Amino acid sequence: MRSGKYDGAIPASYNADRAEYMIYPADAAKNPDSKEAVARLNYVIVIPVGTNYQYDGNPKTIPVPIMLPEGYSVVNDIRKIDATLQLKEMGADDKTNLVRLLHEKGSVVMMGTYAETLLDRSMFKGKLKIVSRPVFSKTYFMPFSRSGSVPQADMEKIWKKINVLKNDKKWMADNMAANAD
């Protein structure tokens, strides 16, 4: 993206560092409910079924270690909440960390919708659960490279189309079903 080799990225959350080389919708930095966002997703805590825990808003109570995929931006988001939390960056993705959680103590913090999808599968079904209160929410966009070839007018059209599609219940249902596996 930085070099202009790719015109766009999806999904990408807003941050000031990325904004230096990516163009976001005008309200991306300040409006978590932007109409031009691809999605606003909750990050939830996943724990073993036998664990008696409810998140009360205090991050120090999250079962440790908190397993997160190595290199994901959610790691920095968790550190911003509380830099003293015991994080364990490991695994290539959330699914790998859920497999580890079947055999190790701690928790996994991940996107709620993805957690719901994975925990409904036989490998995890009845073994892991989602804590009801999210840790935080994050808004995702389709930004474009400042060095890319997409004209600003086309970016605006694409962002408007994202809003139209997000509000089309049939399209959303069909898209979720197609991407479940």
Q: Please report the pLDDT score of residue 177 as a whole number.
A: 63
DSSP string for 77-131 = HHHHH-TTS-EEE-SSSHHHHHHHHTTSSSEEEEEHHHHHHHHTSTTTTTTEEE-
22 and 85 belong to one structural domain:
no
Dihedral, CA of residue 79, residue 82, residue 87 and residue 89, to nearest 10 = -10
| Cβ count within 10 A of residue 127 | 14
Structural domain includes residue 154? yes
118 and 151 belong to one structural domain:
no
DSSP string for 1-33 = -TTSSSSB-SSEE--HHHHTTEE--TTTTT-TT
65 and 111 belong to one structural domain:
yes
- Please give the mean pLDDT across all residues of the chain: 91
Residue pLDDT, tens place only, 34-55: 999 998 999 999 999 999 999 9
Residue pLDDT, tens place only, 17-31: 999 999 999 999 999
- Number of structural domains (the chain) is 2
Domain that holds residue 88: 39-137
Structural domain includes residue 7? no
93 and 127 belong to one structural domain:
yes
- Of 48-52, 67-71, 139-143, 149-153, least confident by mean pLDDT is 67-71
Structural domain includes residue 61? yes
